[in-house]
Amino acid sequence: MKKLLFMVSVLMIFFGCKADESMPEKEKTQKTNNFAIIIHGGAGTILKKNMSNEKEGEYKAKLEEAVKVGHKILKNGGTSQEAVMRTIQIMEASPLFNAGKGAVFTHEETNELDASFMDGKTLNAGAVAGVTNVKSPIELAIKIMTDSDHVMLSGRGASIFAEEKGLEIVNPSYFYTERRFKSLQRIKDREKTELDHDDKKAAFYDTDIKNSKFGTVGCVALDKNGNIAAGTSTGGMTNKRWGRIGDAPIIGSGTYANNKTCGVSSTGWGEYFIRSQVAYDISAQMEYQQKTLKQATKDVIQNKLTKLGGTGGVVALDKNGNMSFEFNTAGMYRASMNDKDALIVKIYKE
């Protein structure tokens, strides 16, 4: 009898292990409760001395409102995809940030919006570049991921797709804000008066961009199922020409997410972020060099991007809920919240 019981237990252990080994990947990842969310509203020359208390309060309040929307979704068991979209939509609807409503102007005095989204569980992604009449570019990026065979759509075609899918279409004048229009005029005036040679022009652009504020918005979230999602939305850079596309809609530069490593959203001088593949490089360093999130974000921003001459920053979050804000500019609008409800809202370097 004892022998029989022993055999039965051995068999049970054996089959028990087998069951665990053959468990689908999906179930194996469903064990974390470390949900978390991290956002940015752009980096750049953001200095306390240039900011009124009132403006600072407005930025902080909007960042807090946005991060809390996503946090609530995650706390109630919602997906990281939903949290990222809803959080970014709060910032897209605000004129404070260079995304959606507050988008900057192109040289031709239009607004051309870019956005991207990535799902860390499936590595599915969606992106849009140069749309002029879609109210929420982040929603469109997600729709491209879920409802089309493509990853990236641009311009007129992207608008047609958005219309077909029933997304909210607005008159391009919706994106007009006086503040952004004046910024464009200031740059154009300086171009006219100060520049006569091409070499001066190059120097002018360099200093001007280095000293500017990048108001792109981004969000990375980890949900209770261990799924990471990341998204980024922007108007690009003031005075951009010729259909210029920055890093924000480029998967691997402006946005990246992988459940095995981390999720990242970038903001800064897009050309450098494309050349450095900032978001993917952070994930790759974690995957192939076993770096921590902090080590990887620090190396990519403070070492590699800085050496190349790029300016900006990232928000990133790993599969265990660790978070990182990393930037090489004077400031970055940023906020985060974890599963203990601990809220961080900051602007300047601290």
The least distance separating ligand ASP from the CB of residue 225, rounded to whole angstroms, comes to 30
Q: Amino acid letter at 209?
A: I
Residue 107 dihedral angles phi and psi, to the nearest 5°? -60, -35
Distance (Å, whole) CA 85 – CA 259 = 18
Nearest CA to 220 out of 124, 65, 88, 26 is that of: 88
The least distance separating ligand ASP from the CB of residue 329, rounded to whole angstroms, comes to 10
| Candidates 22-30, 45-53, 62-70, 229-237; binding stretch for ligand ASP (CB under 6 A) | 229-237
Q: Strands, E, within the chain: which ranges?
A: 36-44, 113-119, 125-131, 152-154, 217-222, 228-234, 255-257, 262-268, 312-318, 323-327, 331-338, 343-348
Q: Amino acid letter at 132?
A: T
Can residue 98 be called a binding residue for ligand ASP (CB under 6 A)? yes
Distance (Å, whole) CA 191 – CA 31 = 56
Distance (Å, whole) CA 279 – CA 301 = 10
The least distance separating ligand ASP from the CB of residue 234, rounded to whole angstroms, comes to 5
The least distance separating ligand ASP from the CB of residue 120, rounded to whole angstroms, comes to 21
Nearer residue to ligand ASP within complex by CB, 100 or 268: 268
**Rounded to 5 degrees, what angle do the CA atoms 60, 231, 35 make?**
75
| Candidates 29-37, 60-68, 150-158, 211-219; binding stretch for ligand ASP (CB under 6 A) | 211-219
Distance (Å, whole) CA 183 – CA 236 = 14
- Annotated active-site residue in 132, 216, 234, 238: 216
95 SS3 class: coil
Which of 214, 256, 280, 333 is close enough to bind ligand ASP by CB under 6 A?
A: 214
Stretch (H or E) spanning 347: strand 343-348
Which of 234, 258, 259, 283 is close enough to bind ligand ASP by CB under 6 A?
A: 234
- In the residue annotation, 216 being an active-site residue is answered as yes
Which of 247, 281, 318, 326 is close enough to bind ligand ASP by CB under 6 A?
A: 247
**Is residue 241 packed enough to be buried (19+ CB in 10 Å), middle (13-18) or exposed (0-12)?**
exposed
Can residue 265 be called a binding residue for ligand ASP (CB under 6 A)? no
Which of 231, 246, 321, 331 is close enough to bind ligand ASP by CB under 6 A?
A: 246
Q: Going residue by residue from 13 to 42, which x/- string records binding to ligand ASP, judged by CB under 6 A? A: -----------------------------x
Can residue 102 be called a binding residue for ligand ASP (CB under 6 A)? no
How many residues sit in the footprint of ligand ASP (CB under 6 A)? 14
Binding-site ranges for ligand ASP (CB under 6 A): 42, 98, 214-216, 234, 236-237, 246-248, 267-268, 270
Catalytic residues: 216
